[in-house]
Chain A
Amino acid sequence: MNVLGETLEITIIGLSVVFLVLLLLTIILKLQGWLMEKFFLKSKKGTHKQIERTKNIKKEKKNKRAVIAAAIDSYIKDHPIEFIKQEGRKMQKYRISIDNEVYEVEVERVDEDNNIKSINKNSSQNNSKFSNVSKNNNDSKLGKQSAAKSRAAQIKNEGKIENASDGEDGEIKVKAPMPGQILMLSVEEGEEVEEGSHLAVLEAMKMENDITAPGDGVIKEICVKEGKEVNSGDTLFIITNG
């Protein structure tokens, strides 16, 4: 009985000390990780959510640019730009307002053709200035502006549809699940693969791991070579399906 009591005591003390130490470390590390995220990792390499968010922002920007380009395109079709004939002057600036945001557009004359060179987004502080400009325009122009707007909206929707399909059956990126070395590649570019097909062997911690295809498709690109060291999250293969 004495033995039982004594061992029970030691067990309880021992286990609780082990848990206490490791729990304390857990809490401190958690706190440290939280602080790191808050103060140091704000910019680029953040959590998964942050990366996704920046991706979304990039997508939105891309969409917007497409919308703007389309809007300008249709506007210019309706309003041929008359370049001021002046030697040496090829660039002309325009301001265009879409969704209450003002964009400054530089138009360059390339021989006979009118070409949109670049789109610079300015801050919406310019809004008031632009409204002054539009007031000077006559009514007929305003009507055509709204036509351009509707076309822009149409393109915007198209862009959205395109994007959605892009995620579902466009490309699958096969990423490295952990840091290691690519020992062997078992497919070639252009090869058809099925879900579960063997793609490569990744060695990590002296252990060979099989990388398999997450879905059916054709290998569009192999981003690594045999013997290459990869980091967790690096893209290894791009598979297109359909």
Chain B
Amino acid sequence: MIDKIILFLQGSGFVQLSWGHVGMIIISAILMYLAIFKEYEPLLLLPISFGIFLSNIPGTGLMSGPTAKTVGGLLHYLYEGVRLGIYPPLIFLGIGAMTDFGPLIAQPKTMLLGAAAQLGIFTTFFGSRLLGFNPAEAGSIAIIGGADGPTSIYLTSLLSPHLLGPIAIAAYIYIALVPLIQPPIIKFFTTKEERAIEMDQMRRVKKIEKLIFPILVSLIVGLIVPQALTLVGMLMLGNILKESGVTKRLSDTASTAMINIVTILLMLSVGASLKAEQFFTIQFISIIGLGLSAFALSTFSGLMMGKLMHYLTDGKINPIIGAAGVSAVPEAARCSQKLGNEANPGNFLLMHAMGPNVAGVIGSAVAAGVLLSILG
């Protein structure tokens, strides 16, 4: 009898609790507080923080794999969706079903802004290598500069899964902080007159163009960068479900119920994969720092491309929509709208900024595909 009580106590959490666990539980509590009371991206932060919380209660085996006798923990199996690269493409399917590529089709040249804003990815790759990360790790860190959560998670899970937690956290932190990070950079590199520039209203896009677009993009991306097609192909599938008009039920599900379910599973798993020994290291701090520089550089290079196009088109393009080339949809576009409106109350750039914004999504997925094919 007493033997059994001792055995039970030995299996309980208190005995196995370490300072690392306590630290992580405190961090998860802080994150939960930020999500619930400060509403910082609560849809993402709350499941992440609860995932951290659950997996850091010791002795539960939630994250442990199967042994010869027992099956693995629940979170272990949910994590398989991350490890095998299944969740991020499913998220892309939902995003595709929500996204209107009309502004991009109406103004194809804004596509180049989405390409320019990927520069930060590669400069950060450079920086990460100098700081001593191996090529695969450097690629995963660099993709944060694309400001695309699912892409970052997808690439990291395939290149360097051990960094998944820190990178996912860093990526989503910057996406949440777009309204704080971008404006000072934009204001520094543009004049008030430039921000005040109004752009012509866009032409209306025909339905047939919206139907050709997903097929066209999948074909071209698939032929040039096959590794990028997993993400881009799912994005375009979601989009054609939406634009075809005949599969309303499917596109509704993809853009609401399905993306929500996958978000819960993905964020919970990402949170659960965060370990104490990763969180309190120089490595994590340098990932956060490198991510910030990647993000800032992408904003900068998008802006510079915007300026170039501004001069090439005789001032028809407002350079600040270049900053929307980083693919945080729609936060970056909102940022352009806000700054443009601030400089000139009659200026509405939101729809124009959506062009480079969605192009940025395609751009960072292509960049991820390139990194995957070279480093993978």
**A, B bound:** yes
Q: What number of residue pairs across chains A and B have CB atoms under 8 A from each other?
A: 142
Using Cβ atoms and an 8 Å threshold, which residues of chain A touch B337?
Answer: 207, 209
Contacts A7-B125, A178-B351; A17 near B108 (Cβ below 8 A): no
Residue of B nearest to A17 (CB): B370
Q: Smallest CB–CB gap between B269 and chain A, Å?
A: 27
> Cα distance A29–B341 when bound, in Å?
29
| A1 at interface by CB-CB < 8 Å | no
> Cα distance A20–B363 when bound, in Å?
10
User: Are A177 and B206 in contact (CB-based, < 8 A)?
Assistant: no
| B294 at interface by CB-CB < 8 Å | no
Binds B, one of A39-47, A60-68, A72-80, A118-126: A39-47
> Cα distance A210–B363 when bound, in Å?
32
Using Cβ atoms and an 8 Å threshold, which residues of chain B touch A47?
Answer: 203
Using Cβ atoms and an 8 Å threshold, which residues of chain A touch B216?
Answer: 25, 28-29
> Cα distance A206–B130 when bound, in Å?
41
Q: Mark B355-374, 1 if CB is under 8 A from A, else 0.
A: 00001001100110011001
Highest count of chain B CB atoms <10 Å: which of A18, A179, A196:
A18
The listed residue (B108, B115, B119, B122) touching A33 by CB distance below 8 A is B108
User: Are B345 and A232 in contact (CB-based, < 8 A)?
Assistant: no
Binds B, one of A8-16, A136-144, A147-155: A8-16
Residue of B nearest to A44 (CB): B204
| B111 at interface by CB-CB < 8 Å | yes
| B178 at interface by CB-CB < 8 Å | no
Residue of B nearest to A9 (CB): B374
| B333 at interface by CB-CB < 8 Å | yes
Chain B: residues with Cβ within 8 Å of the partner, total of 57
| B82 at interface by CB-CB < 8 Å | no
Interface SS of A by simple majority: helix
User: Are B108 and A177 in contact (CB-based, < 8 A)?
Assistant: no
| B123 at interface by CB-CB < 8 Å | yes
Using Cβ atoms and an 8 Å threshold, which residues of chain A touch B109?
Answer: 26, 30
Using Cβ atoms and an 8 Å threshold, which residues of chain A touch B119?
Answer: 15
Using Cβ atoms and an 8 Å threshold, which residues of chain A touch B108?
Answer: 25-27, 29-30, 33
Using Cβ atoms and an 8 Å threshold, which residues of chain A touch B118?
Answer: 15, 18
Q: Mark B205-231, 1 if CB is under 8 A from A, else 0.
A: 010110011001100110011000000
What is the interface residue range for chain A against chain B?
35 or more
User: Are B209 and A24 in contact (CB-based, < 8 A)?
Assistant: no
User: Are A21 and B221 in contact (CB-based, < 8 A)?
Assistant: yes
Contacts A10-B374, A14-B371, A205-B330; A22 near B350 (Cβ below 8 A): no
The listed residue (B106, B334, B366) touching A22 by CB distance below 8 A is B366
Q: Smallest CB–CB gap between B279 and chain A, Å?
A: 28
User: Are A20 and B224 in contact (CB-based, < 8 A)?
Assistant: yes
> Cα distance A41–B201 when bound, in Å?
16
- What 6 A-B pairs come out closest when comparing CB atoms? A177-B348, A29-B108, A11-B122, A22-B115, A26-B111, A14-B370
Partner-A contacts on B (CB < 8 A): 104-106, 108-109, 111-112, 114-115, 118-119, 121-123, 125-126, 129-130, 135, 138, 200-204, 206, 208-209, 212-213, 216-217, 220-221, 224-225, 330, 333-334, 337-338, 341, 345-346, 348, 350-351, 354, 359, 362-363, 366-367, 370-371, 374-375
Partner-B contacts on A (CB < 8 A): 3, 6-8, 10-11, 13-15, 17-30, 32-33, 36-37, 40-41, 45-48, 177-179, 196, 204-207, 209-210, 212, 214, 232-233
